[in-house]
Structure 1
Amino acid sequence: GDYFDYLVFSGNKLFVLTGDVTGHGVPAALIMAMSKSVVGTIARFNLTAQQILENLNQTIFENFVQKKLRLLMTLGAVFIDTDSHEAILYNFGHPFPFKKNSAGEIQMIMPSGGPLGSRGKLIGTPMPIKLEKGERLFFYTDGLVESLSMVESLGMDRQTNYFKIFENYLNQFKDFPIQEACRQILKQHPFFEIQKPQPDDFTIVIVERMQ
C-alpha cells in the first residue's frame, strides 16, 4: 500500500507526495492505485496543492470510510517553489520527515495532521519552510522504522526509540548522491540481517535543493 508521486506545475512549482495505506493486500493496493489516478487527474485542472489534497481526502472518505471499509491513507508531502525555494510541508498521520540542514545535521520536522479519509474535511496544518542550497528532505514509510523492532541487536523493549535509531541510520547516507542514498538506505537496512520475510513495504524519497 505504499505510494509516491511527484507533479511538476507551471511557474516552476514541484509537488512531491509519499503515502501509505492502512492494511495490506488487494484493498490497500486498490486505494494506492486510486490515489495515484485521482492526483494525476485532478492536477490537470490547475488546482493548488491544498485543493488536490482536499479532493484526495474526500475521495477516500466517500469511497472507503463511509462505506465501512475503514481504509485510510497517511501522507507526507511538500510543495516547492523552485524559484524562491520556499516550500510548504504537509503531514497527514504519516511518519514525520527528516531534514538535512545546511550545517549537515539531520533533524525531524513535525507538521501536524490526521490520516486522509479520517474525516470528510481535511485535517492538517501546513508548515512553511525554506530550503537552502544542499538541504535535503527525507520522506519514508513506516515499514522502514517499525521493522527495526524485529532486530534484536537494536533493543526490543518499550523504551527503545526506533525513530531515533532510524535517524542515526539515515546519517550514514545523508551526503551520498540521491539515487545512491536511496539504494543504500534500502539495501543496508538492519532488518535484512535477520533473514526473515519483509513485514511491510519499504519506501524512501529524497528531495534536495541542488543550487
Structure 2
Amino acid sequence: PAKEVGGDLYDFFFIDENRLCFLIGDVSGKGVPAALFMAITKTLLRTEAKHGLSPEEVLSRVNDTLVPDNDACMFVTIFCAVLDVRTGKVEFSNGGHNPPLVLRAGTFEYMQVPKGFVVGAMEGIKFTKGEYTLDPGDVIFLYTDGVTEAMNPEDELFSERRLKEYFSKLTDRSVEEIVEGVKDEIKLFVRDREQSDDITMLALKFRGKRR
C-alpha cells in the first residue's frame, strides 16, 4: 500500500467444486477510512458470491448494501468474475474498474469490458454481465490503477500503453514471474519518486478444462 494501510482489495475462492470466483477492487480515498470500507466490501462480496449469485447480481446487492450507511460518500471500483473450470467460461461484471489483460497465443490484449458504474455511490444501479471463454494456457491479469498511474519524477504516468508493451516481454513467464516482473518494471520507471497510490495485481492461469 501507498500508506500504512490500503484501500485495494482482491480475493479468489471456490463457490463450489466447479466455479472459481475472482475479483479485484479499488476504494476511493486513502488511509484508515478506505481500509475499513475495503474490509466491509470484501466481506460482502464473498458472502454474496458464496450464495451462488451471478457477478452482476453480486455487484448490485453489494452496492445497495453499502449505499445507505455511506456517510463519507466513498465508492469502490470492482471487477468480479466467475470461472467454470469445467468449460473455461468466465462470467464477469465490471463496476468502473480497469479492464483485465488476457494472454492468449503469445499475445496480451485488453479484455473488452464495459466500464460500468462504481459500487457504493448510488442505490439501484443495475450492473451488466459479460462473458469470455478461456483456452488452456490463457492468463488473466487484473490490476488496480496504482499500476498504470504510477508516476516518475518527470510526472509521466506508467500508463496502459507501457503496461501492454512490457507484457510483450512476458509471454512465456509463469503468473508469479508476471506479477514480480510488473512490480520491478514499475520500480524502475518511478525511480525515487514516492508511491502515491496502492498497487495490487492478480494473475490467474487456466490450465485446461476439468473433467
Q: 1:131 is matched with which residue: 130, 134, 153?
A: 134
**Pairing of 1:172-183 with structure 2 (within 5 A):** 172-183=169-180
Contact 1:18 1:140 in 2 (8 A): yes
TM-score w.r.t. length of structure 2 = 0.86
Give 3-state SS (helix, strand or coil) of 2:91's partner: strand
Q: 2:198 is matched with which residue: 193, 198, 201?
A: 201
Contact 2:152 2:190 in 1 (8 A): no
Q: 1:71 is matched with which residue: 66, 71, 74?
A: 74
Offset from partner CA, 1:156-194 (integer Å, 9 cap, x none): 4xxx89211111122222321112221222133245652
Unaligned runs of 5+ in 1: none
Q: In the TM superposition, what is the alpha-carbon distance from 1:141 to its structure 2 partner?
A: 0.3
TM-score w.r.t. length of structure 1 = 0.86
Q: 1:140 is matched with which residue: 128, 132, 143?
A: 143
Give 3-state SS (helix, strand or coil) of 2:97's partner: coil
Give 3-state SS (helix, strand or coil) of 2:21's partner: strand
Greater relative contact order, per chain length (Cα 8 Å cut-off, separation 6+): 2
Point out the structure with the larger helix share.
1
Give 3-state SS (helix, strand or coil) of 1:175's partner: coil
| CA distance, structure 1, for counterparts of residue 88 and residue 9 of structure 2 | 25
Whether 2:123 is the aligned partner of 1:120: answer yes
Contact 2:56 2:92 in 1 (8 A): no
Name the CA shift for 1:96/1:144 in 2 (closer, same or farther; >3 Å): same
One-letter identity of the residue aligned with 1:97 = P
Contact 2:67 2:120 in 1 (8 A): yes
Give the superposed CA RMSD: 2.1
Q: In the TM superposition, what is the alpha-carbon distance from 1:127 to its structure 2 partner?
A: 1.4
Whether 2:120 is the aligned partner of 1:150: answer no
| Aligned equivalent of 1:31 | 37
